[in-house]
Amino acid sequence: MASLQAFQPHGRRYCRIVESFRYEGKPRLRVLAHLGRVGDILRLCQEQRSEYKVSSVSAGAVTALHHLAREFDIAGHINRALGQPGERVQKRDGLTVGETLLAPILFT
């Protein structure tokens, strides 16, 4: 599997694409491509960047449902139904149980 690697010979930072493999049981790196200096890569990417136009018919429906779910506090109702009165709402990865359950409801 290829990966991006930064290396710094003579105090200048360069990037290259490398692939790891085993030779006689020991790990080795095979350089697939030298990309150049980080600044040069960034400049080339900015020059080649173009305007992307994305249109989606279903995104508006999902956004409308999300606004309605927030207006009617669906996640809050789920949290209150599952928790005990006065108990703190459990969060995992920054989301409550109600928010976690609401996401697949909106996107299916």
- Could you read off the pLDDT of 31-81 as tens digits, one per residue? 998 888 888 888 877 777 666 666 666 667 788 888 899 999 998 888 888
40 and 12 within one domain: yes
- Antiparallel, parallel or unpaired: β 91-92 and 95-96: antiparallel
Tokens 């710094």 correspond to 8
- Shared domain check, 40 and 65: no
Among residues 17, 40, 14, 18, the alpha carbon closest in space to that of 29 is found at 18
Are 62 and 98 found together in one domain?
A: yes
Measured between alpha carbons, how far is residue 63 from residues 60, 88, 100 in Å? 5, 29, 17
Whether 53 maps to a domain, the answer reads no
On whether both 70 and 102 belong to a single domain, the answer is: yes
pLDDT in tens, 90-103: 888 888 888 888 88
Closest CA to 15 of 69, 28, 32: 32
Residues 75 and 101 in one domain: yes
Note whether 64 and 99 are same-domain residues.
Answer: yes
pTM of the model: 0.44
Residue-range definition of the domain harbouring residue 66: 58-107
Number of domains in the chain: 2
